[in-house]
């Protein structure tokens, strides 16, 4: 599909996505940039739900980059063990906090360029922080959900996160990058899931070119969708589109 056609498709998609997700949130619970930074490091190869369960105790003991920078690796490893890859994550968290103390006066940096210099923070994580904390659209967050949905919607065949982000940024208006990132990730987690996407409840179904749409379930063959996200956002379901998914 040509860029002009893709841009037009995005203009149709965004209002429908807003119907499904009128409000969005980053699903890593946080109160400040430090907590979000640690949370996104821990979320690698884990789930936001699991991370949200262990971080309250972690932040109670280590409430700031300065406190975390002085922590012993073994203690942090014990506290984040359930997130998986705990040794590597602990090394990155401590390394990031020590760099923040030594180079940034104990404050998480506020630019993309400085964030990606921190251990454990790549471009995706930096985009998350810049958008959720500062409201600055530095790029589009590309994770497994964004890659899957971009393929299903025929926006791109690209699976490399950096290349896909570049392609998406060229067709999505910059003032929509933060919403698009959060909305599409939520959509991929709760509606357009990897197996048996919930097409009969999807506001995007009328324009979605994905050929293998899941038909409406009969009886109890498919588990009902949750009514809200892990952060308490309501999951709006579009039952009126049932006829369009066959």
CA angle, 241 as apex, 239 and 244 as ends, to 5°?
145
Paired residues of 228 in beta bridges: 234
Q: Annotated catalytic, 163?
A: no
Check residue 87 and give its pLDDT.
Answer: 97
Check residue 104 and give its pLDDT.
Answer: 97
Paired residues of 234 in beta bridges: 228
Check residue 227 and give its pLDDT.
Answer: 86
Spatial CA neighbour of 180 closest among 165, 190, 161, 195 = 165
Q: Which of 48, 89, 124, 238 is catalytic?
A: 124
The values of phi and psi at residue 52, to 5°, are -65, -25
Q: How far is CA 224 from CA 8, 59, 201, 235, 245, in A?
A: 33, 35, 11, 12, 17
User: Own/partner pairs for 235-238, CB < 8 Å, 24+ apart?
Assistant: 235/190, 235/191, 236/19, 236/20, 236/21, 236/22, 236/203, 237/198, 237/201, 238/19, 238/20, 238/201, 238/202, 238/203, 238/205
Largest CA distance in the chain: 60
Spatial CA neighbour of 190 closest among 245, 143, 221, 230 = 230
User: Own/partner pairs for 29-32, CB < 8 Å, 24+ apart?
Assistant: 29/55, 29/231, 30/132, 32/108, 32/133
Q: Which of 49, 91, 143, 213 is catalytic?
A: 143
Cα 162 to chain centroid distance, Å, stands at: 15
The pLDDT tens digits along the chain (246 residues) read 566 699 999 999 999 999 999 999 999 999 999 999 999 999 998 999 999 999 999 999 999 999 999 999 999 999 999 999 999 999 999 999 999 999 999 999 999 999 999 999 999 999 999 999 999 999 999 999 999 999 999 999 999 999 999 999 999 999 999 999 999 999 999 999 999 899 999 999 999 999 999 988 776 666 767 788 988 898 988 756 444 443
Joined tokens for residue 44: 């690698």
Q: Annotated catalytic, 61?
A: no
Joined tokens for residue 16: 């429908």
CA angle, 71 as apex, 122 and 30 as ends, to 5°?
50
Check residue 237 and give its pLDDT.
Answer: 84
Spatial CA neighbour of 222 closest among 231, 209, 18, 245 = 245
Joined tokens for residue 185: 């990730």
Joined tokens for residue 145: 């959900």
């Amino acid at each position: 599909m040509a860029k002009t056609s893709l841009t037009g498709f995005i203009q149709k998609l965004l209002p429908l996505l807003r119907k499904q997700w009128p409000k969005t949130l980053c699903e890593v619970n946080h109160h400040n940039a430090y907590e979000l930074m640690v949370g996104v490091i821990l979320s690698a190869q884990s789930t936001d739900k699991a991370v949200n369960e262990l971080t309250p105790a972690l932040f109670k003991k280590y409430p700031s980059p300065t406190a975390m920078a002085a922590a012993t690796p073994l203690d942090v490893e014990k506290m984040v063990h359930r997130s998986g890859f705990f040794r590597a994550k602990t090394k990155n968290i401590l390394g990031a906090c020590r760099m923040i103390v030594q180079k940034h006066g104990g404050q998480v940096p506020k630019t993309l360029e400085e964030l990606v210099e921190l251990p454990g923070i790549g471009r995706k994580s930096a985009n998350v922080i810049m958008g959720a904390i500062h409201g600055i659209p530095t790029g589009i967050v590309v994770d497994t959900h964004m890659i899957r949905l971009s393929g299903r919607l025929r926006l791109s065949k690209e699976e490399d996160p950096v290349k896909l982000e570049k392609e998406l940024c060229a067709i999505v208006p910059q003032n929509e990058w933060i919403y698009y990132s959060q909305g599409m990730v939520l959509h991929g987690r709760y509606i357009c899931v990897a197996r048996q996407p919930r097409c009969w409840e999807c506001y995007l179904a009328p324009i979605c070119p994905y050929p293998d749409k899941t038909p409406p379930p009969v009886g109890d063959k498919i588990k009902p969708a949750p009514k809200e996200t892990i952060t308490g956002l309501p999951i709006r379901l579009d039952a009126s589109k049932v006829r369009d998914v066959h």
